[in-house]
Amino acid sequence: MSTRASQYAARVERRDELSAHLVRLTLAVDPALESTGIPDEWVGLVVPGQFQSRYYTVRSYDSGVLVLDVVLHDVGLVTEWVVRGDCVGAAVKITEPKGSFDPPADASWLLLVGDLTGMPAMARICESVDLPTRIWAEVEDALPGYLPDAADVTWLEASSGTSRLAEVVESIEWPDGDGYFWMAGESAQMRAIRKYLMRDRRLPATAYDVMGYWRSSAGRQPRAVDPGPIWLAGKAQGLSDEEIWAQYDEAQYKKAQS
Ligand SMILES: Cc1cc2nc3c(=O)[nH]c(=O)nc-3n(C[C@H](O)[C@H](O)[C@H](O)COP(=O)(O)OP(=O)(O)OC[C@H]3O[C@@H](n4cnc5c(N)ncnc54)[C@H](O)[C@@H]3O)c2cc1C
């Protein structure tokens, strides 16, 4: 394990295409991670030639074998690496798992809402939590067998880069009694839903967990400094990761000054 942000070394053992937009990576992690046991737990993934991590849900973890299901966006740092298809055998870094799903002890039902990026967490929550559960899943392609057969799922068709999950949630018929609402997907949709839950449904913060998992292209700026070439040049010179990070920090500083 590296000392920087508790990173673990891992190797990609398998790459399986689950659908046109979802790729499963199976990784061997050494030394083994300690799972939090929280069903929406995630890790940071740093792919070769990059410093920035992207978060991925632990779809499953057992004895050093970690499974991550990666959504292919139109563009994106991890997306572009996974699309290439030559990632098997690659050495990557993984950060320590963290989780956030925390239903109150007296919750009598569960509502789960997510787009494709939320599917790994919704699948794992369904497998681990024994409460009556309804799911709304917004996906580009059919994913037969991805959620348990018994799950009560409303499938919503997603069209490239747009989400209407906020609108869907505002029309949900809420179950009686106290429960727990969990939702993940595109950040603008999540912001709208947080407002709705607080202002219209007046839910206490303990009754829901709404997480922005990704941001759509609108308004995104290209990265100021691409770490890829710096990493490759540093490796070619035999520099340590810390030395390369220092060079990257300096390049970012210079760019910000210019
Ligand atoms: C707790 C948590 C758990 C998650 N679990 C999963 C999971 O299990 N599976 C999963 O697939 N995702 C998951 N995500 C979401 C994932 O981290 C993001 O989708 C991540 O951004 C994908 O990384 P990427 O490198 O492919 O794309 P990024 O580079 O981060 O790009 C993401 C989006 O930004 C846009 N974009 C990127 N760069 C630019 C640019 N220069 N100009 C314009 N637009 C741009 C792209 O259109 C793309 O839609 C999770 C996120 C969180 C916070």
The amino acid sitting at 240 is S
39: buried, middle or exposed (CB in 10 Å: 19+, 13-18, 0-12)? buried
Which among 34, 40, 45, 35 is positioned nearest to 5, based on CA atoms?
45
CA of 212 to the centre of ligand 1 (A): 10
Pocket of ligand 1 (CB under 6 A): 42, 54-57, 69-71, 73-79, 117, 120, 211, 213-217, 220, 222
Helix (H) or strand (E) holding 209: strand 208-214
> How far does the centroid of ligand 1 lie from the alpha carbon of residue 186, in Å?
9
Q: Relative to the CA of 216, which ligand 1 atom is closest?
A: 49
pLDDT at 206: 95
User: Ligand 1 pocket test: which of 213, 223, 225 has the largest number of ligand atoms within 8 Å of its C-beta?
Assistant: 213
Ligand 1: residue whose CA is nearest its atom 51: 213
DSSP assignment of 97-110: PB------TT---E
DSSP result, 54-108? EEEE-SEEETTEEEEEEE--SS-HHHHHHHHS--TT-EEEEEPPB------TT--
> Best substitution site from 27, 47, 55, 182 to test ligand 1's pocket, by max atoms within 8 Å of Cβ?
55
Give the pLDDT of the chain (258 residues) as one tens digit per residue: 544 557 899 999 999 999 999 999 999 998 889 999 999 999 999 999 888 899 999 999 999 999 999 999 988 899 999 998 789 999 999 999 999 999 999 999 999 999 999 999 999 999 999 999 999 999 999 899 999 988 899 999 987 667 889 999 999 999 999 999 999 999 999 999 999 999 999 999 999 999 999 988 655 555 667 777 777 788 788 877 667 767 777 787 677 667
Q: In the numeric block, which tokens belong to residue 9?
A: 């070394």
**CB burial readout 147-181, b (16+ within 10 A) else e:** beeebebeeeebeeeebebbebbeeeeeeeeebbb
CA–CA distance, 113 with 194 (Å, rounded to integer)? 13
3-state secondary structure at position 255:
helix
C-alpha of residue 111 to centroid of ligand 1, in Å = 24
Confidence (pLDDT) at 3: 45
